Structure 1
Amino acid sequence: MTTNPKREAARLSVELEAQLVQRLVQEWRGINYSYFKGALRIPVIQLCDAGEPLGRWCSELRSLEISRTLALDYDWGEVLEALKREVVCQFIDERLSVADERRHGPTFRRICARLGIRTRAPGRPRPARAGEERDPTSRVVSRIHKLLALAHSPNRHEAETAAATARRLMIKFNMSELSDIHGEARPDPGRARYGYRHLGNPSAPVREHDRRLAKILNDFFFVESAWLPVYLPRVGRRGSVLEICGLEANLLMAEHVHAFANRTASRLWSEYARATDRRSNRDRQAYLAGVMKGFETKLAAQDQQLQAQGLVWVPAPELGVYFRRRNPTLRHVQPGDAGGCEAYEHGSRAGREIVLTPPVASGSGSGPGAGPKALGPGG
């Protein structure tokens, strides 16, 4: 019997949509368990064609709708945030019965803040307001970028000095922020403007060099990170994405370091492969892991020098609170160990020679037609 290609494509589309709805049901169950201790009954979860809102809880029908546009054209992290917001609306409606509560009123905002859920839907970054260029965060990011520009210098000593000075400025900035927060009578995680970003493209599996880079961001760039499961509706498969949480200035810097380190490691591997005629994926994975290990070793040595100068930064407990609110059931996974092979050792030596250079200007956000960019800040 001859198969009609158009009918086959339509049938597959139906299958993928059914898988997507099933995945949304699984995510709802996880949110209900993690955030609300199983207090809610599962509603009818369905997809809708409406462009706005991107998600909607209907109490009369006990239905929770997610826009197809959101599910198919946005990062999966945005889908989860929309789903979380609508589950909060369901919780308010069915468990709190708050009288005269607006859809996204004070109770909604209070619960979202307590759970680390972003209250606004994704969209274009708002334009800068008058006077924002004078904000301390903007100024420190600008100064760090200028210092890193000097790291392009062909003079090795000058480049290293510029990179170390940028690192010193980052530590001072974060020590100042922590001091300001702790100077208040009641430290508030919301006061520190913590947010989140998702970095890179969803991957499966997460390789050792990915985990080592996440550890670098955690240990040296003032963010907390976690590998989160995501779903790719168009292909019906799962992956993982790196979420980082922190202050806006630190999110911007960590986003750059993540892209810079991956780009640099790939370039170094290409040069090594050409020089040695090594082409196997095993050698590639070992070499990339070695590069990240070498980069980590170099940053640790820089930190020891800065600590000798009295620049010691202690992780902010408020960041830990925000991070745990967003990831209440997180399990930590340590990097593996690809050491011992020749490719790893060569990669490690190359990683110790890396000098951090300035970010490449680019947009962020997600939406229809958007490329593999980081999410806008959450919070």
Structure 2
Amino acid sequence: MKKRKNSEKALHAELERRILHGLACEWEMACRILKPAHQKYMKSPLFRLREMKYSLGKWFPVKREIALSRDFVLHHSWDSVVEVLLHEMAHQFAHEVLNGRHEKPHGPSFQEACRQLRANPKASGSYPPLSDRLCQTDQNTEDRILIRVRKLMALAESQNRHEAEAAMSKAHVLIAKHNIDLITHSRERVFISAFIGVPALRRFREEYALAHLLQDFYFVRGIWVSAYVMEKGKMGRVLEISGTARNVRMAGYVYDFVRHFTDMQWDAYTRSTPLSRYRKSDFAIGILEGFRSKLESPDDAGGEDTGTREMVRVEDPLLTGYMAYRYPHTRSIRRGAATQDGAVHSDGVRVGKKLVIAQGITETGKGGPRLIGSD
């Protein structure tokens, strides 16, 4: 028993060590957005996990320490942790670079620091963490749309293929019409950014294709950002999507559903004849192409021309402005063409044309298992 406890303590200590290293890596990465003149005066602080009842994090100027709540860090997503880290970095920046020592904690210097670091000025105290806010809904009539979408997605589980595809098509049209109404009437909306998937050192071709599909059909914008890979102890990349909380939830649900569907179909496809990981990318990209063709031609499934093709092309100027502010320096990476097994790819396309997004995947959150994307 004593040996087991010692082993558990060692594992816990190693986890905290990796977390603290991750905070240091994220701090260094966040500084790169600052002007060179400001970067010069930002010196790396100490990082610590503390027992904190009334705060998610805190900047201690005398100790030059950024402390985060141990319970918060251990029980929330990494993007939630980074959001709080940036908030505390803004306090450090205001104090050590902008000379805001004698101002109120959230005074002008702090607000300017948040602007430069793209930090959330509210991410402290009793403010809900990012992962919790993502699950919140507005208690207004717009939620009726989500209720209708959820009912249609439940119908999409039907064993009758035509009924299932028609229900999925109607759900997509409803989502599109709602978003077009918000955009064309310039209605007020708040945007949120969240990781989907997990940070990794290497990304496969189908992950980029799936990111493009989400951006083209689910009213979100995606960008690959640097993020700490806990198990490797290094900075890698993860897909961060931005949009209204409702759209980010939906896009995250679709992302998980498609990944799960692809894995199951690949397992079945290779049960008798194992194939390499590269062929899985061929198969997965085929699935995405097949599914994309359904989204581009919804009238083929539902029997009526829904006009979705025209609607999904509408750009959201407010979201474009939000992205320009959040990511002032971006670059495109052109990937070389990869060799592809045409037969495996074609089989994937056929499978993708049968893909129907429905309810059914669960995940375990702080409140226990729930439907991904459900409220």
Structure 1 length as normaliser, TM-score?
A: 0.77
Counterpart residue number, 1:194? 191
Structure 1 distance, partners of 2:91, 2:65, is: 11
**Would you identify which runs of 4 or more consecutive aligned residues in structure 1 move more than 6 Å?**
4-19, 370-377
Q: Which residue of 1 aligns with 2:248?
A: 251
Partner of residue 161 from structure 1, selected from 166, 175, 187: 166
Query: Per-residue CA shift, 1:280-307, capped at 9, x if unaligned?
Result: 3333332222212222232233399544
Can you list the C-alpha shifts for 1:335-368, whole angstroms capped at 9, x where unaligned?
A: 76564432222112211221222364656569xx
CA displacement 1:264-295 (0-9 Å, x = unmatched)? 11121122223x52343333332222212222
CA contact (8 A) 2:287 2:353 kept: yes
Pair 1:46–1:371, CA change in 2 (3 A): farther
Q: Matches of 1:373 and 1:198 in 2, distance apart?
A: 18
Is the CA contact (8 Å cut-off) linking 1:55 and 1:66 kept in structure 2?
A: yes
Deviation at 1:200, TM superposition (A): 2.4
Q: What residue is the counterpart of 2:50 in the other structure?
A: 49
Q: What whole-Å deviation, never above 9, does each CA across 1:69-128 have from its counterpart, x for those lacking one? A: 5555543222321221111112222344447644345764676467653332555848x9
Secondary structure, counterpart of 2:224 in structure 1: strand
User: 1:271-310, aligned counterparts within 5 Å?
Assistant: 271-274=268-271, 276-302=272-298, 306-307=306-307
Structure 1 residue 374 displacement after superposition: 8.3
What amino acid sits opposite 1:294 in the alignment? G
Judged with a 3 Å threshold, the aligned counterparts in structure 2 of structure 1 residues 22 and 311 are, in CA distance, closer, same or farther, namely closer
Does 2:356 match 1:351?
Answer: no
- Residue 87 of structure 1 aligns with which residue? 89
2:161 and 2:91 map into 1 onto residues whose CA distance is 57
Mapped to 1, the partners of 2:28 and 2:236 lie a distance apart of 19
- Give 1:97-116 correspondences, 5 Å limit: 97-98=99-100, 101-104=103-106, 108=110, 112=114, 116=118
Of structures 1 and 2, the one scoring higher in RCO (CA 8 A, sep 6+) is 1
1:120-140 Cα deviation digits (max 9, x unpaired): 2555848x99x954341x221
* Structure 1 stretches lacking a partner, 5+ long: 184-190
Equivalent position to 1:268, from 265, 269, 294: 265
1:25–1:144 CA distance, 2 compared to 1 (3 A): same
Partner of 1:175: 180
Partner SS state of residue 358, structure 2: coil
Aligned partners of 1:172 and 1:311 also within 8 Å: yes
Deviates more, 1:252-261 or 1:279-288: 279-288
Name the CA shift for 1:376/1:104 in 2 (closer, same or farther; >3 Å): farther
Match of 1:188 in 2: none
Distance 2:155 2:8 in 1: 54
The residue type paired with residue 168 of structure 1 is: V
Structure-2 change in CA distance of 1:5 and 1:66 (3 Å): same
- Say if 2:253 and 2:373, in contact at 8 Å, map to a contact too: no
Displacement after TM superposition at 1:376 (Å)? 12
Q: 1:228 touches 1:241 (CA, 8 Å); kept in 2?
A: yes
Tell me how far apart the structure 2 counterparts of residues 362 and 20 of structure 1 sit (CA, whole Å): 23
State whether residues 211 and 334 of structure 1, in contact with CA within 8 Å, keep that contact through their aligned partners in structure 2: no
Secondary structure in structure 1 of the residue aligned to 2:228: strand
CA drift at 1:192: 1.5
Q: Which amino acid aligns with 1:59?
A: P
Helix, strand or coil: the match of 2:154?
helix
Q: Over the residues paired in the alignment, what is the CA RMSD in angstroms?
A: 4.1
2:77 is aligned to 75
CA distance 1:236–1:326, change in 2 (3 Å): same
| Paired amino acid for 1:225 | G
- Secondary structure, counterpart of 1:244 in structure 2: strand
Structure 1 segment 118-137 matched on structure 2, within 5 A? 118=120, 119-121=122-124, 123=129, 125=132, 132-136=138-142
SS at match of 2:242: strand
- In the TM superposition, residue 194 of structure 1 has moved relative to its aligned partner by 0.5
Q: CA deviation at 1:156?
A: 2.9
Deviation at 1:141, TM superposition (A): 1.4
Identity %: 27
Determine if contact 2:363/2:369 at 8 Å carries over to the other structure: no
Aligned to 1:206: 203
CA contact (8 A) 1:197 1:374 kept: no
Alpha-carbon deviation of 1:240? Answer: 3.1
Deviation at 1:48, TM superposition (A): 3.5
**Shift in CA distance, 292/114, structure 1 to aligned 2, threshold 3 Å:** same
Identify the residue that residue 319 of structure 1 maps to in structure 2.
319
Indicate how the Cα distance of structure 1 residues 18 and 263 shifts in structure 2: closer, same or farther if over 3 A, else same: closer
Q: How many residues align?
A: 359
The residue that corresponds to 1:31 in the other structure is 30
In 1: Cα distance, 2:355 partner to 2:11 partner: 47
Whether the aligned pair in 1 keeps the contact of 2:26 and 2:227 (CA below 8 Å) is: no
Report the alpha carbon displacement of residue 23 of structure 1 after superposing the two structures with TM: 4.5
Mapped to 1, the partners of 2:309 and 2:205 lie a distance apart of 33
Secondary structure class of the residue paired with 1:103: coil
Are the equivalent residues in 1 in contact too, given 2:19–2:230 (CA < 8 A)?
A: yes
Q: Distance in 1 between matches of 2:110 and 2:369?
A: 32
Instruction: Please state whether the residue corresponding to 1:192 is helix, strand or coil.
Output: coil
Amino acid at match of 1:228: V
